Structure 1
Amino acid sequence: MLNMLEAAAEQMVVHRDFQAAFDTCDRSLQSLCGPEAEDSRSAEFKAGFCTIGIQALAELNQWPGVLPWVLQQYELQEKIPAKIMQMCILLYSKVGEPAVMQEAARVWLHCPSNSKASGFGTVAELHLLHVLVPLGRTDEARELIVGEVGGRAFTEDQRRTALDVVDEREQQNLEPPLNPGGSPNSAHSVSNKGAVIHKLKAMLRFLYKKLFMTGSGSFSLQRIFLAAVLLYMLLLRMDPALPSSFLWISKLLELLKQMWSTMVAPYYHSLTQSKALFTQNLVEG
């Protein structure tokens, strides 16, 4: 199994033969079926093959078949590993079909055994930001935040921040359409741009507060991974030559300025004062 997993990874990354990588994963998963596949080692191999298989299907532009293929391997939605669920949510959000994951993520989050999984909180965050909020499911989003799932997935500060995100989305839905006298296509385009920018501000605010204002003082690998994924989706998958990208970049710069003020500016200000005082004493002496 280890050799097969390495072969699939090589086909995927080195040779970029996505079909061969998927075929290798699919054959290997078939050989993992049976009672012997329930042990932890086999479960790790299974998750590894699914991870590469999902990436291969996405590269082949066969993303509609990702969730059915994953369910073929795990049979039930609630048995899907947290990392695989996270990948599926991000994939279907990226292709503009977040509704595909709405029911699967809901079932997964409400399964009691999944609440102990290390990636439970991340699945809840992605479900909120990439499924419920984009779909305008504000009532379901609030229920997720303040309910039993939110109590296990979020801290008190995170719940307040998440509720702010949902409130902003609901307020946006109630706002009248811009440029009512314009053409329908123009109004739709302006509305879409406003929705994208509004969603970006909410996501950046949520990410900033989560990483720097939770008071935990530690940066877990899980949080760093989530931050890297979000920034990757915002930057590397965006054409900076497009005029619509300027506002995205300006919001990111605003976030970086906030990070500077929080982490570096106090120490820089203190150092500047100390240097000025030393200079003054030297001159007076």
Structure 2
Amino acid sequence: MASGQAKVLSSRTNVSDKFEKSTLFQQFEEYKETATELLLFRDFRPCVLACQTGINQAKIYIEIDGAKEVVESLTLIAIQAYAELNSWQEVLPFIQQVYNGIETCPPRVVQFCILLHAKVKEYAQCHVITNIWLRCPKNATIEGYFDVVQLYVLHVMLPQEKEALVPSFLDNCNFLSTEQRQIIMSEMKQSLAERESGSKDSKKIEKNALEKPLETEENASHGKSHLHKALKRFGVLLAKKSSFLSFDTVMKIAVVAVSFYFLMIQANKAGMMTSLSGATAFVWKGAVNHLYRLFSLARPGR
């Protein structure tokens, strides 16, 4: 009889535990959903408060499976909210409050902290965070150890142009394998090559930008000179033919010629020649050449 009662009590306890765990998981999910929603709607301060509330609740049941993951997720959301608020200086005190120190933070939290401080070029803080975390022996067995080292090299050391110090830094990371060190060195060399290539492209673009106005100005000057020659020849031709034309006809031609001349001058002054596209400039040049040939003294029949 006593044995039967014990089984019933045990069964009720298990059912109660399962119910309590499911309720807790539901609450944890609600905290995450609320914090995420506030972040998306850019309510950053309420988002931080929601994260803190959820973290405090999850830490009470930290031994339950999944509670640590909830704390980590809410911590990452809070870091993003602080970043949006440009309150990066509040991140480390927040992290230390949640995890009682940097060395006990999960790898992803450490990576977020490094990236945030690197973004605002607080490299000294990046150095402190990384060294504290890497020197903790417990972190050597964590899967994210390599990721933290890799991130620090690529996002902290290289932007400071400290690539010469990378080999010695990797040697001090005793828990890295030879293969992992080779991977980081290979990625570093690739990043340096991309940076050098980008620098060359930038200089080339700058050089072309400096040379392009000179070329455009030269072309415009050439077009203007060509136009002047054509109009001059037109004037000479008009003078020669004027004896065969009526005064009224000569005046009409003169008005058209002068109007055309001033139109072209204003177009050149306004930089019209420099702003035309390649195809339009080609047509423009062809029109000027046609005008030149039309009124050329060497044209047959003139």
Q: In 1, Cα distance between the equivalents of 2:64 and 2:179? A: 30
Find the counterpart in structure 2 of residue 23 from structure 1: 49
Higher Cα radius of gyration: 2
Q: Is the 8 A contact 2:59 2:67 kept in 1?
A: no
Where in structure 1 do 4 or more consecutive aligned residues deviate above 6 Å? none
Q: In 2, Cα distance between the equivalents of 1:141 and 1:150? A: 16
1:2 equivalent to 2:53? Answer no
Change (3 A) 1:120 1:247: farther
1:79 to 80, 104, 114: 104
Q: Is the 8 A contact 1:98 1:130 kept in 2?
A: no
Change (3 A) 1:96 1:37: same
| Matched residues, number | 176
Q: Is the 8 A contact 1:82 1:120 kept in 2?
A: yes
Deviations 1:205-233 (A, max 9, x none): 8xxxxxxxxxxxxxxxxxxxxxxxxxxxx
* 2:202 alignment partner AA: L
1:104 to 129, 135, 142: 129
Q: Is the 8 A contact 2:146 2:176 kept in 1?
A: no
Find the counterpart in structure 1 of residue 84 from structure 2: 59
> Aligned with 2:176: secondary structure?
helix
Q: In 2, Cα distance between the equivalents of 1:159 and 1:144? A: 11
Change (3 A) 1:120 1:96: same
Find the counterpart in structure 1 of residue 21 from structure 2: none
Report how far residue 117 of structure 1 moved.
2.0
Q: Is the 8 A contact 1:132 1:138 kept in 2?
A: yes
Deviations 1:218-277 (A, max 9, x none): xxxxxxxxxxxxxxxx9xxxxxxxxx99639x9xxxxxxxxxxxxxxxxxxxxxxxxxxx
1:69 to 88, 91, 94: 94
Q: In 1, Cα distance between the equivalents of 2:46 and 2:176? A: 43
> Aligned with 1:32: secondary structure?
helix
* Structure 2, gaps ≥5 residues long: 1-27, 206-302
Change (3 A) 1:246 1:54: farther
Q: Is the 8 A contact 1:144 1:150 kept in 2?
A: no
Q: Is the 8 A contact 2:103 2:133 kept in 1?
A: yes
